[in-house]
Structure 1
Amino acid sequence: MFLEVDQVCIRYPRTPAPAVDAVSLQLQPGQLGVLLGPSGSGKTSLLRAIAGLEQPQSGSIRLDGRLLDGPGLRIPAEERRIGMVFQDFALFPHLDIATNVGFGLRGMARAQRTAVVGDMLALVGLPDAHKKFPHQLSGGQQQRIALARALAPQPRLLLLDEPFSSLDVELRERLAHDVRDILKRTHTTALMVTHDQMEAFAVGDVVGVMQHGRLEQWDTPYSLYHRPATRFVADFIGHGVLMQGRLRRSGTDGGVEVETAAGLLRYQDDPSANPPGSTGMETANAIAPGPAAIDVLLRADDVMHDDASPFKAQVLRKSFRGAEFLYTLQLENGQQLLSLVPSHHDHGIGEWIGIRLDVRHLVAFPAGA
């Protein structure tokens, strides 16, 4: 592994709960990781500890096999060769772009520094920006320059702290994809902090969800969405609800049935017996054998609009998203569901529509846990 964080704890004076509580994670060379979570979950504190700007009270941090923080040892931030990109860009307003990008290259021969600056500006798509000043660039262009400046000294690890938070939504999503492409082209290992799921999924090979200083899950974006390890991750990631159900074993073949107010779900433990893309019964917590009350995770894309279905739901709210609507629906028993449907299925508030469940990954938790 390239980056290894092992059981790191960070506490601040006069704060009873730890800001970072026994967090462990790993990144392979060239891998892009993202820390995702609500404000105050410990993401930035952990990032600053890796950079050497915060000192953990316990645990260890290693980079490419070298111990940076551990019992009796702390390598200063300036000796770690770790680059950082901040949310406010942190460009020098009185210096032109070439000087900003080359700021970390002092001590390098002038011709070599000029060549590196040119390469970095070309890499971020601003090859002619040398003589401009930061105020002459848009927010997205300034963020590209901040990235170029961080990459110019060829850091061993790049850390990004909410790098797109000051930009408008459309620009943030586009720039997130561009940043991922740039980091992949340069084979840069990076760790980013964000509270925005779309940014996390656009950038990250692996994403960690944090809450109250703890790392709830460190996994691929696909697994976070379809196989959340905890109720918090299930609720925090994507659009979905936890619906009451009844779990029953359906025979000697290891299959299960789940009774819900919106239909019966059947699963086999044999993946070949399940729909394409399914891996069978996946419980995030242990469910006792035999009949059991459970909460089943239903994503918005698990609830299909089907006028032929005997199960009906009433439209409570609708959010137009261009190609689709996000409907908030309510069953006769009061249970609410979310459903993504194509935008030509335009139903009015209060209308009753048919629905069916198309669940490829059954994720369940003990009822009311």
Structure 2
Amino acid sequence: MTAQLHLDNISFNYGERVVVDNLSLHLGDNEILCLLGASGCGKTTTLKAIAGLLRPHQGVIRLGENILCDDNRFVTPQHRNMGMMFQDYALFPHLNVAQNIAFGLKAMTRANKVKRVKEMLALVHLEDCANRYPHQLSGGQQQRVAIARALAYKPSLLLLDEPFSNIDHQVRFQLIADIRRIIKDQQVSAIFVTHSKEEAFAFADTLAVMHQGEIAQQGTPQQLFHHPRSKVVAEFLGSGLYLDAQKQDDYHFETQFGVVKSHQAVAGSELSGQLYVRPHDLQLIRDDKGPVTVVSKRFVGTEYVYRVQVLGQEIEIPVKQPEQEFLPGQRLSITISSHAVNFFTA
């Protein structure tokens, strides 16, 4: 159950509004890829095009050696051998758990169907729930049934549309870990749509950050977080502070708060630009005449989190040492740790 999915120059319009614009994407064998972006960026439309629920206005979609869509052909959803999971679970309320899982196994003999359902119940740890109905299950249990049903007939590709958005936050990340394990155990490739970077980091092998119908950047979570190619990607994956900077060499940048050292060389000939510095690389220090003003603070158990105003921007900075408590309205300055610098030029 492996897949190599290729999207080449896919475009889709709603009337005159371009929703997906010349998008190209690759998914490897046994890979979980996340389409990540804000509402309206085109990620769900892209997923629907892959599923065959929408026909792109241009472009080619290929799964392995099979062309699913181009100018001359269009394979319907039921012939694409893809499993789907939705945020509302889409379970049949009048069928019990075993019957829901067995729903797509119409081509199997009764004996093989029973065997496969037992295998899937064991895989998702719901052996004792076979005769229960969806309304008798928790949200997490319902989603386990949904993943079992989606994988029961051994699809070539699994598509997941915001599957965790209705799950209680306290159990969400345990469910994410469990479903990731299940998908990896079954060696199936998957594409996952979300607007939550926390879910994306926990679930996906690679991310494709979408913006205005295009892929802004694709890579591992670590690559995109530490080496964003654009301000759009940097801002979406985490808050930060923009500082005007002059590049002294590939490792040193002069800012209002002193010279910042980069752990890695920053290539390029442009000398003027901005650093995007994340909160964990910033330290607050006492300075009665400093350019930083404390707006508010909150205690979160292991640390204080301060919202401060810096050069017309607001950012939250964690401080682990309670003895360094600051008060709203207090003036401070900041120091900046050496880190893998994000330097953006005009």
TM-score by length of 2: 0.92
The count of residues paired between Structure 1 and Structure 2 equals: 342
Q: Which runs of 5+ in 2 are unaligned?
A: none
Question: More displaced, 165-174 or 216-225?
Answer: 165-174
Quote the residue 1:258 is aligned against. Answer: 253
**How far, CA to CA, are the matches of 1:25 and 1:223 in structure 2?**
17
Mean Cα deviation higher: 124-133 or 65-74: 65-74
Partners of 2:126 and 2:138 lie apart in 1 by: 12
Cα distance in 2 for partners of 1:130, 1:335 equals 54
Q: Which moved more, 1:147-156 or 1:116-125?
A: 116-125
CA distance in 2, matches of 1:343, 1:97: 50
User: Do the aligned residues in 1 keep the contact of 2:164 with 2:172 (CA within 8 Å)?
Assistant: yes
Aligned amino acid, residue 278 of structure 2 = R
How far does residue 211 in structure 1 lie from its aligned partner after superposition? 1.4
The within-5 A match list for 1:335-346 is: 336-342=314-320, 344=322, 346=325
Letter in 2 for 1:361: A
**Does the CA-based 8 Å contact 2:93-2:133 persist in structure 1?**
yes
Shift of 1:353: 4.7
Select which of 324, 330, 335 maps to 1:356: 335
Query: Structure 1 unaligned runs (5+)?
Result: 250-254, 268-277
Q: Does 1:215 align with 2:215?
A: yes
1:299 aligns with: 278
Look up the match of 2:199.
199
Tell which deviates more after alignment, 56-65 or 172-181. Answer: 172-181
Task: Please list the CA deviations of residues 261-291 of structure 1 after superposition, one character each: whole Å capped at 9, or x if unmatched.
Answer: 2221134xxxxxxxxxx33226xxx552xx4
Assess if the C-alpha contact under 8 Å between 1:85 and 1:161 holds in 2: yes
Report if aligned partners of 2:261, 2:339 keep a CA contact under 8 Å in 1: no
- In structure 2, give the amino acid aligned to 1:217: Q
Q: For residue 112 of structure 1, report the CA deviation from its aligned partner.
A: 1.3
Equivalences for 1:215-294 in 2 at 5 Å? 215-249=215-249, 255-267=250-262, 278-281=263-266, 288=270, 291-292=271-272, 294=273
| 1:302 and 1:339 in contact (8 A); partners too | no
C-alpha separation in 1, matches of 2:300 and 2:266? 32
The DSSP-based 3-state class of the residue aligned with 1:301 is: helix
1:18-33 mapped onto 2 (5 Å cutoff): 18-33=18-33
In the alignment, the residues of structure 2 paired with residue 103 and residue 343 of structure 1 have an alpha-carbon distance, to the nearest angstrom, of 56
Aligned to 1:328: 307
Alignment of 1:86 onto 2:86 = yes
Distance 1:320 1:360 in 2: 27
Given the superposition, is the C-alpha separation of residues 297 and 121 from structure 1 closer, same or farther in structure 2, using an over 3 Å criterion?
A: same
Residue 354 of structure 1: how far off its partner (Å): 5.5
3-state SS of 1:280 partner: coil
**Residues 307-352 of structure 1, C-alpha deviations (whole Å, 9 max, x = no match):** 69x9773322334444344322234x55544423326354332334
CA distance in 1, matches of 2:104, 2:76: 17
Give the corresponding residue for 1:179: 179
1:365 matched to 2:331: no
Letter in 1 for 2:196: D
Q: Deviations over 1:27-82 (max 9, x none)?
A: 11100000111111100100011011110111111112211111211111111100
Whichever residue aligns with residue 320 of structure 2, its letter is: P
Identity %: 39
Q: Comparing both chains, which one has the higher relative contact order based on Cα–Cα distances under 8 Å and sequence gaps of 6 or more?
A: 2
Q: Which amino acid aligns with 1:37?
A: G
| In structure 2, distance between residues paired with 1:105 and 1:324 | 52
Question: For residues 358 and 226 of structure 1, do their structure 2 counterparts lie closer, same or farther at Cα, with a shift above 3 Å needed?
Answer: same
Q: Could you tell me how far apart the structure 2 residues matched to 1:343 and 1:129 are?
A: 48
Distance in 1 (CA, whole Å) between partners of 2:321 and 2:97 is 45
Partner of 2:111: 111
Task: Pick one of 2, 5, 13 that aligns with 1:3.
Answer: 5
Whole-Å separation in 2 of the counterparts to 1:325 and 1:65: 55
Tell me, in whole angstroms, the C-alpha distance in 1 between the residues paired with 2:109 and 2:251. Answer: 69
Rounded to whole Å, the distance in 2 between the matches of 1:166 and 1:361 is: 36
1:272 is matched with none
User: 341-350 vs 177-186, which deviates more?
Assistant: 341-350
Q: Distance in 2 between matches of 1:239 and 1:335?
A: 11
